[in-house]
Structure 1
Amino acid sequence: MLKDYKGACHIHTEYSDGRIPVSDVITSAQDAGLDFVILSDHNTFLPKHDGWEGWHDDLLVIVGMEVSPRRGGHFLTLDTQPLTDNRYVDLQKYKYMKPGDCLDDVVSKGGTVFIVHPLGKRKISFSIVLKAWHDWEHNGFAGIEIWSYLHDWIDDLKLSNLWHFYKNPNLQIKGPDPELLSLWDELGQKRKVAGISGLDAHYRKFPFAKRPFFTYEELFKTIRTHVLLESELVKSDEAVQLICDAHKEGRCYVSFDLLADATGFNFIADSGERIYYMGDEIVSIENKIHFNINSPHRATIKLLRNGKIYNECEGASLDYSSAEKGVYRVEAYIENRPWVFTNPIYVR
């Protein structure tokens, strides 16, 4: 049985436009019961140079970076040791480069790339203009952000409903964008593409409000990525790499834990010869594959193949066998609200 660790990704701090100290991020994450957080300030690794990466009691802090060109889509990068070894590397150059050139540069230095807010977002009334990612033929990215709390929340936001959204933020969460899930399914039929979550957390306070729109502790209880590891996560030098590798390999799932803590959710495939987990690829198997899904809570469980519902049930488990090739993943809903979205198991 793989070990399940939950964390939050795509977090901004005072090192860019987050307006909150890393120490406060750490305290909020610990209070929310997280195992890890991934910071992603714009075009800087300064939090790592300043010693924030590593263990803080039982919380693991990982310093990533949101590469943010002005003329196109953004991406999160991890594992960029050559970039982080030298404090004086000019990472601000990415502002003026094309997105594809940024990606090429990061990958050439060993970085792992995840496209964030892939479809972009435009809310002129709130000064939000984020450009979409367009270069989907590029094979350099390892994954995409399939569910972002902030971008889900602002999707239907207007000046006329701002107060309602402020008072009841979690009621506005609808789940990953169907267009984005469809794109992810298409990409997965060509090659392995991991799906991760993001908060795009920023500290924002408005004059009329008594508290910020979102405290980080509140955000850290919402959409999380659960990574699955073969052994317990111990306080060692390898811990950061283990979490990063799980994201890269898609050995993880995304969940809205405010509905119910999804820890223990499991999706496996049994070929009769070995067990396959989320993110695994099954090649040249002639016999039927037996899929098994187990949930820690009763839910509507859907097994999808190439983006289409293949089987579903109401309960805490689903078993199904198939001899068809395809990209298999799972969605789960609690009382019709989106809850869990797993990475695929690929049958080639």
Structure 2
Amino acid sequence: MKTLVALSFLLVTYFLYGFYLNQFDTSIVPRQISAAHSSNYYDYKGVLNVHTDLSAGSATPSFVITSAKLASLDFLIFTDLNLFNMPTSFESYHGNLLVMSAGKYSYLDSRIMYYSINQESIGDSFGEAQVKMADLLSQKTGASKDSLSILAHPYKAGFSWNGDFPTGLDGFELWNLKSLSNRAWEYSKLSTIWSLLIYPFNPRLSFLRLYSEPTDEIALLDKLSLQRKIVVYAGAEASARAIPLANYFIKFPSYKRSFEIMSNHVLLKSELTGSFNGDRSKIFNALKQGNFYLAMDILGDPKGFVATIEDDKQTYLMGSEIKLKKGMQLKVRLPAVPKDFFEIIILKDGQDVGRINEPEAIFPITSPGVYRIQVRVTSMLPMPDAKKWFTWIYTNPFYVTP
């Protein structure tokens, strides 16, 4: 009888606490029905590193596309694992969602995502793919204009890249959702289990409290960007198969939920028109050149954020290679004032050179270097957690040359 009473008490306490957590809003900016683009650029968000049941995922491409629409994505890039003769029938517009079919391939001890805008195959077999991948990665930086190659989760246990970073790679994942979750488990299994228990009441909070900064990836970015142009990406690693043995019955976390956590926000000078070939080229070129920023969307919709370098004649987006001129300025504008304490951090060659606690910032560029922006916020989490810093936005670097 005592055991039953104790269990009943714990169950009631759990649901009461769950009701308390359900009221907690993770958003640091006011929620809007439809966020506005910035005044000079169009902001389109999308995800990559997405698996379907054609490889390591748990649902059909059609189901995943529906989930992406529900998550209000503008573009989606399939990256099924080691899928040769990849089907391209889904490459088109599905309503307002632009879908591209890439692939993710095993190479040495790592995984590399590959997309050809000309739909050129990586090979018909594993052996052919390895040969072509080796040739692709050995090319000079920027030599391959029509393909995109991205190193997935460079420091994920069991898939870490060893040795020098190949010149043929366009970039790597700075954020990878599965890597972040794995690190949380390694750091504290108890905290990870707690997140699973509160997931039914507040999924956004459940993921947010597991967040840790990608310090190794940031160090890699700052090291490589001093040597050559490099682009960083956010990878959803979406497969809805986080629960072993139950993944065909319980899609966890759901594709929609994975798509809502973090994304890549492409900035374009002209809007998407609904013409697939033209719009695909716009998205491809922006991802290739680094004209986008990475956002932790569960903290708030960043649409309207913009960071540019300007001189007296021209404006340059992140990812641009720019010759230093007199009077050049780095300008940053947030879409709204966060409700919690925040700071815009300006970094040059990996070093902090400015911190601004205003929604708009202007920083003079007086010397060559690699500049990037990080927007951090501090948020008070519900008990038993406390106040914690989170990065809301990472930009791709600007490359200012003498």
Compute the TM-score of the two structures, normalised by the length of structure 2.
Answer: 0.76
2:377 to 319, 325, 334: 334
CA contact (8 A) 1:45 1:63 kept: no
Equivalent-residue separation in structure 2 for 1:259 and 1:206 (angstroms): 29
Identify the residue that residue 117 of structure 1 maps to in structure 2.
Answer: 153
1:66 to 101, 104, 126: 104
- Change in 2 beyond 3 A, CA 1:45/1:33: farther
Q: Which runs of 5+ in 2 are unaligned?
A: 1-39, 200-205, 379-388
Alignment pair present for 1:157 and 2:185: yes
Identify the residue that residue 355 of structure 2 maps to in structure 1.
Answer: 312
2:78 maps to amino acid: L
CA contact (8 A) 1:146 1:197 kept: yes
Identify the residue that residue 172 of structure 1 maps to in structure 2.
Answer: 210
Look at both structures and tell me which one has the larger radius of gyration over its CA atoms.
2
2:234 to 176, 184, 197: 197
Identify the residue that residue 32 of structure 1 maps to in structure 2.
Answer: 71
Greater shift, 159-168 or 138-147, is seen at 159-168
SS of the aligned residue for 2:238 comes to coil
Identify the residue that residue 19 of structure 1 maps to in structure 2.
Answer: 58
Aligned-residue CA RMSD (Å) = 2.5
SS of the aligned residue for 2:113 comes to strand
Equivalent-residue separation in structure 2 for 1:229 and 1:201 (angstroms): 26
Q: How does 1:253-268 map to 2 (within 5 A)?
A: 253-268=293-308
Q: How does 1:1-348 map to 2 (within 5 A)?
A: 1-44=40-83, 48-49=87-88, 51-69=89-107, 71-79=108-116, 81=118, 83-84=120-121, 89-93=123-127, 100-101=134-135, 103-104=137-138, 110-119=146-155, 121-122=156-157, 129-136=158-165, 138-158=166-186, 160-166=190-196, 167=199, 168-175=206-213, 177-204=214-241, 205-206=243-244, 211-236=250-275, 237-283=277-323, 285-298=324-337, 299-335=342-378, 336-348=389-401
CA contact (8 A) 2:322 2:400 kept: yes
Equivalent-residue separation in structure 2 for 1:196 and 1:181 (angstroms): 12
Equivalent-residue separation in structure 1 for 2:145 and 2:228 (angstroms): 22
Per-residue displacement from partner, 1:97-151 (whole Å, max 9, x unpaired)?
A: 696456359x8794221111112x22xxxxxx32325331x21111211111121
- Change in 2 beyond 3 A, CA 1:102/1:139: closer
- Change in 2 beyond 3 A, CA 1:246/1:286: closer
Of all paired residues, the percent bearing the same amino acid is 27
CA contact (8 A) 1:73 1:134 kept: no
Equivalent-residue separation in structure 1 for 2:101 and 2:57 (angstroms): 14
Greater shift, 182-191 or 26-35, is seen at 182-191
Report the Cα offset of residue 15 of structure 1. Answer: 1.2
CA contact (8 A) 1:302 1:332 kept: yes
Report the Cα offset of residue 46 of structure 1. Answer: 5.2
Compute the TM-score of the two structures, normalised by the length of structure 1.
Answer: 0.88
Equivalent-residue separation in structure 2 for 1:6 and 1:234 (angstroms): 15
Equivalent-residue separation in structure 2 for 1:91 and 1:111 (angstroms): 19
- Change in 2 beyond 3 A, CA 1:310/1:83: same
CA contact (8 A) 2:117 2:284 kept: no
Identify the residue that residue 125 of structure 1 maps to in structure 2.
Answer: none
Equivalent-residue separation in structure 1 for 2:154 and 2:162 (angstroms): 5
CA contact (8 A) 1:15 1:46 kept: no
- Change in 2 beyond 3 A, CA 1:134/1:46: same
Report the Cα offset of residue 39 of structure 1. Answer: 0.8
Report the Cα offset of residue 11 of structure 1. Answer: 0.4
More strand by share: 1
CA contact (8 A) 1:79 1:244 kept: no
